[in-house]
A = this chain, B = another copy of it.
Amino acid sequence: MTADDRGLLLGDGLFETVLVRQRHACLWAWHRARLELGLQRLGFPAQDPEWLRGEIEAAAGPGERLVRLTLTRGRGPRGYAPPAEPAVTRLVSAGPEMSRPDPAGATPLRIGFSTIPASVNPALGGIKHLGRLDNVLARMHWREGEDEAILRDAAGRITCATQGNLWLREGTHLVTPPVDEAGIAGTRRAWVLEKAEEFGVSTEVAWPTYERLQAADGLYVSNARLGLAAGVLIGGGAARTEPAALQALRRALHEAD
């Protein structure tokens, strides 16, 4: 990397963290959709997404790995104004081989509340841009015993988890906050919203009240590594028995290509 890259100097870029299984980029259609939205929002020159997919799959070794693709607006002169014809910087890096927690057997995440607010900006909401200080600070401020923490925005709205999207379960109904003002439009979130009905699970995009959060039958956090991982609110009641429909949904996401 050069020291005048706008990704470093201004956070002027995007990334994707892709689960690659046996050199196959899982849920690529959802990654591609989010990446294209981000490129459009930032006004980047056109990229060939299938070529990028090839780079991601080529970087991965055997087994299961997370591969990070980073795209920046490349080098530029000083100041906020980008060059007229930016040369996009592409970085692809593969993590170590890993085994993801089995959705049925994993210990529920213990979820608290972060004191760090989620940034609100409708121009940036949903896209996975490089400015991730909300998440870094929230992660640093997890309290003893927390495996996750919920971020609220400055208006107090329950927005997301530190490392993924947040979900409430009410019977076989799932509720997740909107991502058009804050947070990231997760690929697993998009998959669940699209597929849940096939499993007899209904979904709703809404900012949950505290009362609704406290009364939920269970919580989940979704990201590329965890899939849709179960959690419990610290100080809340124990998670109630999970309906078979949810178990089947989580298993299908775990195995989804």
Contact = CB atoms under 8 A, between A and B. Distances in A.
Contacts of A123: 116-117, 133-134, 137
Interface in A68-104: 68, 70, 72, 78-82, 91, 93, 95
A243 interface: no
Interface string A111-154: 00000111111111000011111111111100000000000011
A15 interface: yes
A130 B132 contact: no
A2 interface: yes
Interface stretch (A5-13, A168-176, A208-216): A5-13
A7 B9 CA distance: 8
Contacts of A8: 1, 5, 7-8, 70, 72, 130
A66 interface: yes
A55 interface: no
Nearest to A41: B137
A162 interface: yes
Contact of A1 (B3, B93, B129, B153): B3
A194 to B, nearest CB: 27
A12 B140 CA distance: 12
A181 B155 CA distance: 11
Max chain B Cβ within 10 angstroms of own Cβ: one of A42, A93, A124, A139: A124
A107 to B, nearest CB: 19
A257 interface: no
Contacts of A133: 10-12, 42, 123-124, 129, 131
Given A42-B133, A82-B136, 17 more contacts: A1-B2, A3-B91, A5-B8, A8-B72, A9-B130, A10-B130, A11-B131, A12-B133, A12-B136, A68-B78, A80-B138, A119-B120, A119-B121, A123-B133, A124-B134, A129-B131, A131-B132
